[in-house]
Every structure is written in structure tokens, then in C-alpha cells.
Copies of this chain bind each other. A is one copy, B any other.
Amino acid sequence: MRAVRYHGNRDVRVDDIAEPECRPGFVKIAPEWCGICGSDVHEYLVGPETIPAPGAPHPITGETLPVVLGHEYAGTVVEVGDGVDGVNVGDRVAVEPIIRDNDCPSCLAGHYNLCPQLGFHGLSGYGGGLAEFSVVPGYMVHVLPDEVPTDAAALIEPLAVGWHAAKMAELRDGDSVLIIGAGPIGLVTLLAVKLMGAGEVVVVELSSARKAKAAELGADLVLDPAHDDVAAVLAERFGQGVDVAFDAGGNAATIALALSSVRPKGRVVNIALWEHPVEFDMFSMLFKESNLTASCAYCNDHGEVIDALATGRIDVTPLITGRITFEDVVTGGIEQLIDNRDAHVKILVHP
């Protein structure tokens, strides 16, 4: 079968590989739509990092590159292994790609996103969604209701990241929210907090395309630190500060802005992957007794996201900015997301 595989830094190819076989406890899927994630782009540019390099197999999968890419996908079930209940051949399904480890206390406690060996189907081995077929453990499969189209379902995975972040913020009805950074993760967080009852939502972003997207998706105010005095505008609008700030930037300036923007007892949630440690001023927390946490992927969020899509409470159509096939995955996909990143949120790939 054809599959998009990562062979190393700037080396992604469409290969002809053996079709995976279904087995007890697993489900075989024909992927229909698969998103390209920022982490796929990151691996292309500076990896292998999360993808296991030669000589350093992933501790759970035991695999090293080349690995099949694609962890944001949905498709149709073609075979169901023994012992998997609630899934039938022909069902359309979304895949929740975190690999669970039966020896891990976090996985066994239900916090599978906090597994010390955290691995993803589509990055760490065990196949992926950029292939004609994938085989995944039954726990990864979420059956889609009729109301959720398969292309929209490819966005359930990134939506779950925003959903989880909003839950980590313990958002209360009417809470004012600041989101710093309007890349894909900032935007899905915007969708999630709006749905969870946020009051005013302010987005801070530099890129004009992303600023427009944030406004289109419902931000009440979009500020550009290159032109706006963000601190002054926030002080004028919110007095002592916003209730909740999300840092989707992941650098010293963005976390400092998040911490300085919340009110006394306010909450800051990091949703960025930081490239390196940064300077951090505890006094920005101390005299407000603010609270900082970090949101990691998702955990038991997919069902709620699917329900929000099925009931029409979230519309992901504006997030889809491109549709390509396997053959275009590098030039029309990954490299578009590098060279033309501001024009894109999510590019979907079809076999």
C-alpha cells in the first residue's frame, strides 16, 4: 500500500509498504482525511526529535524511523479484531493517537496523556494516518455520528488539544480570556473557550492572516503587539486583569505577558511547546497568587469534542485552508506550512 513516511530531516517520501494486518484488540481503518500537524512540520525541519531516531527506538513501540506519519485523521473501518466492542465494519471513525502503556502508572490511572513514554500513533511507530490503511488498538477509535463529516473529523485531534486546555483553565461562565498566539492551537483554544462560556476573549497575534482568522472565529478583540500597547489596552478594558490567559507562544515574552495580564488569583495555562528554558520572574506570580499550569495534548476529551461538532456548536470549516493528496504532502503540504504559514491553519491530506 502507499504510505507517507518520515525518513529523517527534510526527508519525507511516499513509499510502497506492506499493508498492516488486523489482529485481536485492534481495528483496521482506511483513512480518508488526515491533517498535517505543526509537530510534523517541526520534525521535518529540526527532527528527528519526537520521532525515534536510528539506535533510539521508542520505548513502547520499539520502532525507529522510517515511520508512517499522520496522527490527525478519520476514515472508515474495514476490519474489526476479536474483542473490540462498539465498532463495526463500515463505521466512520476518528483516531485518538496517544499510545497507552499497560505498565505505566499514569496510563493505568487514566492520565494517558501524562505517560512518561508519551508516544503517538503516526509519530512514534505503529503506523499512521497518512497511509491507505492503518491498524490501531480499539481504545484509539471513536465512532462518528452521521452529523460529523469525515473531513471535519480530521480536526477532532487538534480541537481536543484546545478543549483540554480550556478545561485545564477551569473556565467559569463569563470569564475574560486572553489567548497569546493565534496559530492552530491558539485558534482551537479560542473555539473551545467560546463554547465553554467565556466572556470577552482577546487574542494577541503578530501575523495579519492569523489576526483575521481569530476575528473570523469569534475573538472579541485582536491586538497586535507591533502596533498596540497590549498592557494598556488590557488594563483599560479589564482593570485588574483577565481571569484566564493562555500562552500559545512559548517564549519569555509571551509567558511574561500572560502572567502580567491576569487578575489577582487569575489562571495562566501554557499550551505551547517551549524550545528552551526561559527567564521567569516569580514576583509576577507572588503578589497576585496567580496560578500557572500546562496543558498536555488531551485526555478523555474526544467524546465531548465530537458531541460539540455533532450538535453544530463548533464549526471547523474555517480552519481547513487546503486539501491535497499524498503526492503533494511535501511541496503542497509541509513546505506550504513553512513558507506560507500565515495563510494556512490546517491542510488536509486524502490518499
Contact = CB atoms under 8 A, between A and B. Distances in A.
Please tell me the size bucket of the interface on A: 35 or more
A240 B285 CA distance: 27
Contacts of A116: 287
B118 A287 contact: yes
A105 B114 CA distance: 38
A228 interface: no
Given A264-B114, A278-B279, A296 B289 contact: yes
Question: How many chain copies does the complex carry?
Answer: 2
Interface in A225-248: 239-240
Contacts of A291: 291-293
Q: Taking each of A111, A250, A273, A286, which has the highest tally of chain B beta carbons within 10 Å of its own beta carbon?
A: A286
Contacts of A279: 277-280
A148 interface: no
A289 B295 contact: yes
Of listed A109, A113, A272, A289, residue having the most chain B CB within 10 A: A289
Interface string A247-286: 0001000010000000011000010111001111111011
Nearest to A265: B111
Nearest to A118: B287
A109 B288 CA distance: 13
B280 A286 contact: no
A298 to B, nearest CB: 11
Contacts of A280: 277-280
Contacts of A273: 286
A194 to B, nearest CB: 23
A289 B168 contact: yes
Contacts of A294: 282, 285-286, 289-290
B288 A282 contact: no
A106 interface: yes
A111 B255 CA distance: 24
B250 A289 contact: no
A111 B293 contact: no
Given A264-B111, A281-B277, A282-B250, A239 B293 contact: no
Nearest to A256: B277
Contact of A292 (B105, B278, B285): B285
Given A273-B286, A278-B280, A290-B294, 7 more contacts: A111-B264, A116-B287, A255-B282, A278-B279, A280-B280, A286-B294, A289-B296
21 contacts: A105-B239, A106-B240, A106-B264, A109-B264, A111-B289, A114-B287, A114-B288, A168-B289, A250-B282, A270-B286, A274-B283, A277-B281, A278-B279, A279-B279, A285-B293, A285-B294, A289-B293, A289-B294, A289-B296, A291-B292, A291-B293
